[in-house]
Amino acid sequence: MSSARNAFKGEIERVVDTGTVIRIAVDVGIEIPFIVAITKQSFDDMDLKKRSGSVYHI
C-alpha cells in the first residue's frame, strides 16, 4: 500500500548514476518523461532496470 495519490504506468527510458542519487527518466505516455531522483539503495532494493515497465506512485 502506498500513500501516493497518483499512479502512472510507465517505462524507464534512462538511468543516470550521479554517485549519491540515481536519476531516472520514466516515459508515462506524455510529451516529456518524468524525471525521478531516488537513492542508490532504493534503486537497488526495487531492482529497477532500463526498459522495465511498471506502475509508479508519486
Q: How many CB atoms lie within 10 A of CB 51?
A: 8
| Res 22: pLDDT | 94
Domain boundaries, the chain: 7-57
Measured CA to CA, the distance from residue 23 to residue 2 in angstroms comes to: 21
pLDDT value of residue 54: 72
Query: 20-42 pLDDT, tens per residue?
Result: 899 999 998 889 998 989 999 98
Amino acid at 27: D
**Fold (CATH) for 7-57:** OB fold (Dihydrolipoamide Acetyltransferase, E2P) (2.40.50)
